[in-house]
Amino acid sequence: MKVLLARYVAPVDQPLIEDGAVLVRGGRVVGVGTRKEFSADSRIDYGDAVICPGLVNAHTHLELTSLAGCVRPDGDFVSWLGRLVAELTTRKGCDEIARAVSEGVAESIHAGVTMLGDITRVPAITRGILSRSNLRTVSFGEVIAIGTQRSKLLERVSSALPDDWSDARVTAAVSPHAPYTVEPEGLAFCAARAQALAAPVCIHLAESEAEVAFTESGGGPLADHLKALGVWDDSIAPAGCRPVELARRCGILTNRTICAHANYVTDAEIDTLAACGASVAYCPRTHAAFGHEPHRFREMLRAGVNVDVGTDSLASNPSLSVLEELRFLHRAHPDVSPNTLLAMGTINGAAALGHAGSGGVIRPGMPADMIVVPIERARRSDGVRGMLVSSAPPVAVYIAGVLQNRPTID
């Protein structure tokens, strides 16, 4: 049994505790309170710091870790997408993918991430690595099936959601990539399969103005992109509606669904997301890199949408640090409560991934997944805000009560 001490403990679902302590035994939290309340043989005092839950990266692509700096966003999403696809065609080796995922795991844990939602094109490779890591992961097998790729639908959904998958740390899930890469019938099939298995779903939704044009009219830059890839055929028809409505009609939007990005949504669409119980994974630095219009995460939160935070991939983001995403948001939106931002990076993400009972808060009975972030002495009265104005990385990362010097990947 050990007790971790710090200037503050931020349980997230309870008020901030000053001169806080967390008692850990057997990999779980058994007590949360002030330092005067607990004693143990092992006491670790982190001083001017905040102990908070391990961070949750609700949307990332670990296998793109090797693309860091290779396809930088240039403000034109479809152009960037074309460059990304071209680069990926040169990086198909299993060893390279495995190495990228392993490096992504290492960077994530170093940055204080203890749970994540990962999109993978090759579940057979990535899930083996993730199951041997310390992270708690929801692995979304990506499905692309449109035009000449339509016949791949069943194979790719079966790969994403195998009947016999069982793993203590990795949850199998499905990601119909986007409304411009999976046709309505395919979206409905993915939704039905996920519902039958009670599996989470992630879809890139309303990510760009080009996507809105594609679902409404069947044309625009994304149609040109599909033609350039050689996957277009004349049976591809416009849905005749915007992306959120298309997803709703196809049964994609449920309380097990994460909508990645949701950059271009109307008031009515925010209400639809809230009514369906779908979560939104906002990726702040990727959003800024493409110069999208201001994200409506504040309106979403007010409407009751569960908004969480993702990093997307190193193809569009300088790091896999959720803490840096929160700090970026704090600088850009100082009017938003630091406690709200911390919730977006912890409890909201855990709920979105279907792990509300195993992450995102510090509470007796929960896994002892926690990080310790130092705060400057001059900001020691600022609580969570002091953590967000700092530039320091976590000084300690605990998963199941075990200090992570480096990720364990056998």
Q: What is the pLDDT of residues 26-43, one digit of tens each?
A: 999 999 999 999 877 789
Q: Residue 330: helix, strand or coil by DSSP? A: helix
Please report, for residues 127, 214, 253, the alpha-carbon distance to residue 120 in angstroms, rounded to integers and kept in the order given.
Answer: 9, 24, 21
pLDDT for 409 beyond 60: no
> Where are the extended beta strands (E) located within 315-356?
none
Of 37-46, 178-187, 236-245, the poorest mean pLDDT is in 37-46
Cα 138 to chain centroid, rounded: 9
Nearest by Cα to 255 from 391, 354, 372, 169: 354
| Tens digit of each residue's pLDDT (9 = 90 or more) over 194-222 | 999 999 999 999 999 999 999 999 999 99
**Bridge partner residues of 280 (DSSP):** 259, 307
Give the position of tokens 């999109």. Answer: 119
Domains of the chain: 2-53+360-403 (2.30.40.10), 55-352 (3.20.20.140)
Q: What are residue 117's phi and psi, to 5 degrees? A: -110, 115
> Where are the extended beta strands (E) located within 177-330?
201-205, 257-261, 279-282, 306-309
pLDDT for 172 beyond 60: yes
| Tens digit of each residue's pLDDT (9 = 90 or more) over 283-299 | 999 999 999 999 999 99
**Residue 379: its pLDDT value, please?**
84
Across 154-176, average pLDDT: 95
**Residue 49: its pLDDT value, please?**
97
Q: What is the DSSP string of 150-162?
A: GGGHHHHHHHHS-
N- to C-terminal Cα separation, the chain: 27
Summary mean pLDDT of the chain: 95
**Residue 39: its pLDDT value, please?**
77
Determine if the pTM surpasses 0.75. yes
**Residue 38: its pLDDT value, please?**
84
Report the C-alpha gap between 87 and 46 in whole angstroms: 44
- Identity at 106, one-letter amino acid code: A
Task: Count how many Cα atoms sit within 13 Å of the Cα of residue 206 in the half-sphere of its side chain.
Answer: 25
